[in-house]
């Protein structure tokens, strides 16, 4: 009989993780689909009884989205426009059912190249909080995800939260666009997230742009970000984008789209994301 | 820190009632509801969160119960479809679904209802966009979603009134709610996986992971031995190890005999407890595969010296058919305008929401199967043949069928479940998981079609030359039917004096391609309609006017030389569309005036479709009885796969008899009790079985009138054990208890049989292959994002000549559902073995992908059909893809020659067009 642990205290969960290999279960939206027709024989640590780890909190210099916050929690949270991109991503994930059950942290730990949460959080310079019985650490998301379904999570560690640093500028906003071959329940062909901070004169002081599903891990576009700095925030921001800015991407051919197409669509979608964001700032 | 209660149980509320479940905490909540609590209203369509059929509310929030652990339900409130109808009375939402015909097969309905319940609690009067968002996580394959959206919007409005049942004689033409609708809305309906006996053994088929391989089996029972595993069946256990649709083409082994021919080919079958057969890992079994060079696609199959998929089939050519009329080659040479093209289509998956399921039991020297099927009598005969039994030793009791579309015309679980039950003596169940369903089930044939079409200077079509090759995959299935039907339809619904049309099917190591809504005609329509657009453009003619000029009318001869005597309603369809077409063109011109990146296009397409089997006998027989207690029972062998034959046949029979439709009880599909009504396929049940039902109803009426010595126009009133006959001023009471009854208590009965008059086709494909043809035309409006290559359907107008709409709501439902599948065919559906064996990599349209649809019903009565009706099951799908492709072309100038027009393909075509000088 496989083990099934459902602790109500975090230390109990961490103690269990430190003692033996366990599969962590939260929203179940990646766990069960990976086991269709297969026996359910994993030893499981179900963390969903840690319900206090669900409330999104504002701290002095960051927002904290804990392990059990679902996509719906994010959509319904009272968050500044900095999170608009994240909210848009949350609305585009799966159907309502997945949004109600699936968690942002689970999406990051699953580390699919097409994970909808990753590009947005990269554009927000998010960090992840990892906990084990012995230690707590905070790590940039960009370091946490190491490859296609590969992360820096140690077997005894649990991701307990995502931290999103507050923007420095007063005018700060995020945006997100996803391209798929149908309206709902669709895995992205390409997705783009962007976050801009502007000064009082309406000029970009900081830009962050990232693209998902076009490389094993979503990538930021640093050359584009530099090119955007100092430009006035308006729809013309989209015209900044060039083919060269897409250099960090390395898309593959698959049933959803060819590599060439992905690159082409990434550029188009990036331009649209920036044009949209620029005009909303 | 354990899960659930101290004793390993989990306690929670279901629909307000406390329950305790003693089961592993990691069990899927869906399985706990269904198997431990018997609440089978919640359906399992994929176990992966892709289809939403299993949606329940967890503390008020919709979740897929296939992705929630039992332990996670502890202490919470789970609401399922069974909780909606308070005290057995449908709630407002359920009544709205019933009235709008929002449930067809009903497999997605519980998920839809539950998702809508969450929405309506938060937003009692939602906007349409909110309905789409709220229900976006539930897939439906039958309805095209529009009636579901309408029902949810209406449920939120004023209290919906139940549809009044029409009085005697007024059923035909009425929007009668589905007679089998209520159980589909309450969760009470029993599908293939819903009534498995608790003591059943389970059977799991181990399938080939290779496209082509030699297979060597080791000592299976020894190596796989584990508690609960009772048997491992191999080919040696199967008395007659072949199945197939055609008596002379039994080419498909039930279990592999040394070779496998496609990824998914059955190798062995495990029989034991459900846990035991699931726990065996395929890779741990002593099955050794020696991969062989596979034949992939038509080019491979036709290469000289290609490996042979079946040793005895030279050149891998399964079959060919053709139609030759006049001299197409000579006529093309004389045409003022000619068009040509080469088009390709992909494997398409049926993706019914209910995967294949059922169970079998041995009863003495007989075996009974409760199974989801489209063809009970063929199932009976095939199962008997495989088991070496007489057909009378097999009984098929069809379960409710959660969608078919042609995919449940081949046997799936039937032979092996029956064999295992026969051998073990225990009931044996088999339920496919979604990936297994997608790997194993037949597909729409990929086609490569090259064609030329020509007309004279006035725009009158002169000649069509059409050459279609079909990839029939590893086994014949319904391949010959496709190869035979397509040439007949190849020239489209037009008058063409010179036609040369050929259809050939080739074996490959792909999945077997078989029957799928339209039997190849949707693929052919893409071709003839693209060429029609070409010719219209060359002549500078309006595309609709060009079609109108060439439309088949009553009195015209078809490519097979058949003169259409009546009911050829394409012209009124086009005339009804003409003003909409004009408005759509003007609207597109306005939208495109700003030269933006999104371009609007309008397309038009015509279709025709022969109802019933091609040039073959396909009779139906129906029987209605009146017993001494006054009960009317229609013994109806036509299985309703959601399209509505149960309601349609009752409406027809009721009017023929002269009684209200809801007075007729039915026994459906049970092969022990019903006559053979043939397959639910080829759009034939309304026309063929409907006619038989009309004749049966009329025969019973005549028998009653004889008892009363009354005239034909007398009225009947059924009141308990009495029938009151009113004939002018005369009133006769027939006391049924005084009539002679048979053993079942039947005192009077009527039987009807109808076999549509057809002829065989001669060597040149000439003859009358069908007794009736459906006609239709659709206008599609789409937006094309030229930078991304994405296509968004905006609106579809569909005009279809159905002869007579027996039930307009259901006619609309068939057309809308067909359109949704046509959108999928055009824009997103492509089955790739090993790559798209689930419902997130294989995309079917969601509720957000089907635009507003206007259905225009045209009624040009078919003299042979019941009350003038013909079929509508397949026609709605046929013109949709070509209309969308025509719209893309109108928007962008790109002629799409490969479907689906995925964004990357369309974008490439757009770039190539821009690059051209």
**Whether B49 and A98 lie within 8 Å, measured CB to CB:** yes
Whether the pTM exceeds 0.90: the reply is: yes
Residue B224: pLDDT band (50, 70, 90) is confident
B912 CB within 8 Å of a chain A CB: no
Q: Which residues does chain A have with pLDDT short of 70?
A: none
Mean pLDDT of B194-223: 95
Using CB atoms within 10 A of its CB, is residue A216 exposed (0-12), middle (13-18) or buried (19+)? middle
The Cα of A272 is separated from the nearest Cα of chain B by a number of Å equal to 11
Residue B326: pLDDT band (50, 70, 90) is very high
Each residue of B550-606: pLDDT tens digit? 999 999 999 999 999 999 999 999 999 999 999 999 999 999 998 899 999 999 999
B846 CB within 8 Å of a chain A CB: yes
Each residue of B799-811: pLDDT tens digit? 999 999 999 999 9
What does the alpha-carbon distance between residue B558 and residue B568 come to, in Å, rounded to a whole number?
Answer: 11
Mean pLDDT of B278-302: 96
CATH (residue range B9-83)? 3.10.20.30
Residue B3: pLDDT band (50, 70, 90) is very low
pLDDT at B5: 54
Contact in structure between B601 and B888 (CB atoms under 8 Å): yes
**CA B722 → CA B630, B701, B704, B726, B737, distances in Å?**
6, 14, 11, 13, 8
pLDDT at B88: 83
Q: Chain B neighbours among A 198-237 (CB < 8 Å)?
A: none
Mean pLDDT of B634-642: 98
pLDDT at B6: 54
Chain B residues whose beta carbon lies within 8 Å of the beta carbon of residue A25: 26, 69
For residue B221, the number of C-alpha atoms closer than 13 Å in the C-beta half-sphere is 7
Mean pLDDT of B874-895: 98
Each residue of B5-51: pLDDT tens digit? 557 899 999 999 999 999 999 999 999 999 999 999 999 999 999 99
Each residue of B672-725: pLDDT tens digit? 999 999 999 999 999 999 999 999 999 999 999 999 999 999 999 999 999 999
Q: Chain A neighbours among B 773-812 (CB < 8 Å)?
A: 787-790
Structural domains of chain A ordered from first start? 4-49+57-165 (3.30.465.10), 171-280 (3.30.390.50)
- Please state the separation of Cα B531 from the chain's center in Å: 28
Residue B1: pLDDT band (50, 70, 90) is very low
Q: State the best of A37, A95, A257, A264 to mutate against chain B, taking most chain B CBs within 10 Å.
A: A95
Each residue of B78-116: pLDDT tens digit? 999 999 998 889 999 999 999 999 999 999 999 999 999
Q: Which helix (H) or strand (E) holds A209?
A: strand A204-212
Can you list the pairs that B31-34 forms with residues at least 24 positions away whose Cβ atoms lie under 8 Å? B32/B70, B32/B73, B33/B65, B33/B78, B33/B80, B34/B193, B34/B194
B228 CB within 8 Å of a chain A CB: no
One-character DSSP codes across B768-816:
---S-EEEEEEEEEEEEETTTTEEEEEEEEEEEE-SS-SSHHHHHHHHH
Chain B residues whose beta carbon lies within 8 Å of the beta carbon of residue A39: 275, 278-279
Each residue of A9-52: pLDDT tens digit? 999 999 999 999 999 999 999 999 999 999 999 999 999 999 99
Each residue of A65-92: pLDDT tens digit? 999 999 999 999 999 999 999 999 999 9
pLDDT at B2 over 50: no
**Whether A36 and B435 lie within 8 Å, measured CB to CB:** yes
CATH 3.90.1170.50 residue ranges in chain B? 201-292+356-431
Mean pLDDT of B66-72: 98
Q: Which of A8, A39, A184 has its CB closest to that of B278? A: A39
Mean pLDDT of B497-525: 97
CATH class label, B517-609+770-915:
alpha beta
Mean pLDDT of B492-513: 98
CATH 3.90.1170.50 fits B201-292+356-431, yes or no: yes
Write the Ramachandran bin of B575: left for phi over 0, alpha for psi from -120 to 50, otherwise beta: alpha
CATH 3.30.365.10 fits B620-754, yes or no: yes
What does the alpha-carbon distance between residue B488 and residue B469 come to, in Å, rounded to a whole number?
Answer: 15
**Whether A96 and B118 lie within 8 Å, measured CB to CB:** yes
The Cα of B288 is separated from the nearest Cα of chain A by a number of Å equal to 21
**Whether B908 and A261 lie within 8 Å, measured CB to CB:** yes
Using CB atoms within 10 A of its CB, is residue B701 exposed (0-12), middle (13-18) or buried (19+)? buried
ipTM score = 0.98
Contact in structure between A50 and B290 (CB atoms under 8 Å): no
- Residue B797's beta-bridge partner residues? B779, B854
pLDDT at B495 over 50: yes
CATH 1.10.150.120 residue ranges in chain B? 86-186
**Whether B903 and A8 lie within 8 Å, measured CB to CB:** no
Whether residue B900 has a cis bond before it, omega within 30° of 0: yes
Architecture (CATH level 2) of domain B86-186 = Orthogonal Bundle (1.10)
Tell me which chain A residue has its CA closest to the CA of residue B903: A181
What does the alpha-carbon distance between residue B270 and residue B276 come to, in Å, rounded to a whole number?
Answer: 9
pLDDT at B595: 84
CATH 3.30.365.10 residue ranges in chain B? 517-609+770-915, 620-754
Chain B residues whose beta carbon lies within 8 Å of the beta carbon of residue A184: 132, 136-137, 846-849
């Amino acid at each position: 009989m496989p083990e099934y642990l459902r602790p109500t205290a975090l230390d109990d969960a961490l103690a269990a993780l430190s003692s033996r290999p366990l599969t962590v279960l939260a929203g179940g939206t990646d766990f069960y689909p990976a086991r269709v027709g297969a026996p359910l024989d994993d030893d499981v640590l179900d963390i969903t009884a840690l319900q206090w780890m669900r409330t999104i909190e504002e701290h002095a210099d960051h927002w904290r989205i804990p392990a059990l916050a679902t996509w719906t929690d994010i959509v319904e949270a009272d968050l500044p426009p900095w999170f608009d991109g994240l909210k848009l991503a949350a609305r585009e994930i799966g159907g309502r059912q997945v949004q109600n059950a699936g968690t942002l942290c689970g999406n990051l730990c699953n580390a699919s190249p097409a994970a909808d949460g990753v590009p947005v959080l990269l554009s927000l310079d998010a960090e992840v909080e990892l906990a084990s019985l012995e230690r707590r650490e905070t790590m940039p998301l960009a370091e946490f995800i190491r490859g296609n379904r590969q992360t820096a999570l140690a077997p005894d560690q649990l991701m307990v939260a995502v931290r999103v640093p507050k923007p420095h500028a007063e005018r700060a906003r995020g945006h997100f666009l996803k391209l798929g071959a149908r309206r709902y329940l669709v895995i992205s062909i390409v997705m783009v997230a962007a976050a801009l901070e502007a000064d009082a004169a309406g000029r970009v002081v900081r830009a962050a742009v990232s693209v998902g599903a076009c490389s094993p891990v979503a990538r930021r576009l640093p050359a584009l970000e530099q090119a955007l700095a100092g430009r006035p925030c308006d729809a013309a921001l989209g015209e900044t984008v060039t083919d060269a800015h897409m250099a960090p991407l390395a898309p593959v051919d698959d049933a959803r789209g060819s590599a060439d197409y992905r690159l082409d669509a990434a550029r188009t979608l990036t331009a649209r994301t920036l044009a949209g964001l620029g005009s909303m700032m | 820190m354990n899960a659930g209660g101290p004793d390993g149980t989990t306690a929670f509320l279901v629909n307000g009632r406390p329950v305790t479940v003693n089961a592993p905490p990691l069990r899927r909540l869906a399985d706990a509801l269904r198997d431990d609590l018997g609440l089978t209203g919640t359906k399992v369509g994929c176990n992966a969160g892709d289809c939403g059929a299993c949606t329940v509310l967890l503390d008020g929030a919709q979740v897929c119960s296939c992705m929630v652990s039992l332990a996670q339900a502890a202490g919470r409130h789970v609401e399922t479809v069974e909780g909606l109808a308070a005290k057995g009375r449908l709630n407002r939402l359920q009544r709205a679904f019933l009235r709008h015909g929002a449930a067809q097969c009903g497999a997605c309905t519980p998920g839809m209802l539950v998702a809508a319940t969450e929405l309506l609690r938060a937003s009692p009067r939602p906007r349409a966009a909110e309905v789409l968002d709220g229900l976006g996580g539930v897939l439906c394959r039958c309805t095209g979603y529009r009636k579901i959206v309408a029902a949810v919007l209406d449920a939120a409005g004023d209290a919906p009134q139940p549809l009044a049942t029409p009085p005697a004689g007024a059923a035909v033409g009425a929007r009668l709610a589905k007679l089998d609708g209520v159980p589909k809305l309450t969760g009470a309906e029993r599908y293939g996986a819903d009534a498995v006996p608790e003591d059943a053994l389970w059977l799991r088929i181990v399938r080939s992971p290779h496209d082509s391989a030699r297979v060597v089996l080791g000592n299976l029972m020894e190596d796989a031995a584990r508690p609960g595993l009772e048997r491992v069946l191999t080919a040696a256990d199967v008395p007659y190890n072949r199945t197939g649709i055609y008596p002379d083409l039994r080419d498909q082994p039930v279990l592999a005999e040394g070779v496998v021919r496609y990824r998914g080919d059955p190798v062995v079958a495990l029989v034991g407890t459900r846990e035991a057969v699931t726990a065996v890992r395929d890779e741990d079994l002593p099955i050794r595969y020696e991969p062989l060079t596979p034949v992939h696609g038509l080019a491979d199959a036709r290469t000289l010296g290609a490996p042979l998929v079946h040793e005895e089939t030279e050149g891998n050519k399964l079959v060919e058919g053709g139609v030759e009329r006049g001299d197409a080659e000579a006529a093309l040479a004389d045409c003022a305008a000619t068009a040509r093209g080469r088009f390709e289509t992909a494997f398409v998956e049926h993706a019914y929401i209910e995967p294949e399921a059922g169970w079998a039991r041995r009863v003495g020297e007989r075996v009974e199967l409760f199974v989801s099927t489209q063809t009970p009598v063929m199932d009976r005969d095939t199962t008997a043949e495989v088991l070496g039994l007489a057909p009378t030793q097999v009984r098929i009791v069809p379960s409710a069928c959660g969608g078919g579309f042609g995919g449940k015309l081949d046997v799936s679980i039937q032979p092996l479940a029956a064999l295992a039950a026969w051998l073990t003596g225990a009931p044996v169940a088999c339920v496919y998981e979604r990936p297994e369903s997608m790997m194993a089930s037949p597909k729409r044939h990929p086609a490569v079609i090259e064609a030329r079409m020509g007309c004279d200077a006035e725009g009158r079509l002169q000649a069509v030359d059409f050459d279609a090759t079909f990839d029939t995959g590893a086994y014949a299935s319904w391949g010959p039917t496709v190869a035979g039907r397509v040439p007949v339809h190849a020239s489209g619904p037009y008058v063409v004096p010179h036609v040369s049309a050929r259809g050939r099917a080739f074996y490959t190591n792909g999945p077997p391609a078989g029957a799928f809504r339209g039997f190849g005609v949707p693929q052919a329509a893409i071709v003839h309609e693209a060429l029609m657009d070409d010719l219209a453009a060359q002549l500078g003619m309006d595309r609709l006017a060009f079609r109108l000029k060439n439309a088949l009318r009553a009195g015209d001869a078809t490519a097979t030389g058949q003169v259409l005597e009546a009911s050829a309603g394409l012209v009124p369809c086009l005339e009804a569309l003409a003003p909409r077409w004009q408005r759509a063109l003007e609207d597109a011109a306005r939208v495109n005036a700003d030269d933006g990146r999104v371009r609007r296009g309008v397309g038009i397409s015509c279709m025709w479709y022969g109802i019933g089997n091609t040039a073959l006998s396909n009779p139906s027989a129906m029987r209605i009885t009146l017993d001494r207690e006054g009960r009317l029972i229609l013994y109806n062998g036509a299985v309703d796969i959601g399209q509505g034959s149960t309601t349609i046949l009752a409406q027809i029979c009721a009017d023929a008899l002269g009684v209200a439709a809801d007075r007729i009880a039915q026994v459906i599909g049970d092969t022990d009790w019903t006559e053979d009504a043939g397959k639910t396929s080829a759009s034939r049940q309304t026309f063929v079985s409907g006619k038989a039902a009309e004749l049966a109803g009329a025969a019973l009426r005549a028998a009653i009138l004889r008892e009363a010595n009354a005239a034909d126009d007398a009225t009947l009133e059924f009141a308990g054990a009495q029938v009151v006959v009113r004939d002018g001023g005369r009133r006769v009471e027939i006391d049924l208890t005084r009539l002679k009854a048979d053993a079942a208590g039947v005192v009077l009965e009527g039987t009807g049989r109808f076999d549509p008059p057809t002829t065989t086709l001669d060597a040149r494909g000439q003859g009358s292959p069908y007794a009736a043809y459906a006609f239709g035309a659709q206008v599609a409006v789409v937006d094309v994002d030229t930078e991304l290559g994405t296509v968004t359907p905006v609106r579809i107008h569909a005009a279809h000549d159905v002869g007579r709409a027996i039930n307009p709501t259901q006619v609309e439902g068939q057309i809308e559902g067909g359109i949704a599948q046509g959108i999928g065919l055009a824009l997103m559906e492509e089955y790739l073995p090993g790559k798209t064996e689930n419902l997130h990599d294989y995309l079917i349209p969601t509720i957000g992908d089907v635009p507003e649809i206007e259905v225009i019903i045209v009624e040009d009565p078919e003299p042979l059909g019941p009350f003038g009706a013909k079929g509508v099951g397949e026609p709605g799908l046929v013109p949709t893809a070509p209309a969308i492709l025509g719209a893309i072309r109108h928007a962008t100038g790109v002629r799409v020659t490969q479907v689906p027009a995925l964004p990357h393909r369309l974008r490439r075509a757009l770039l190539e067009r821009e690059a051209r000088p």
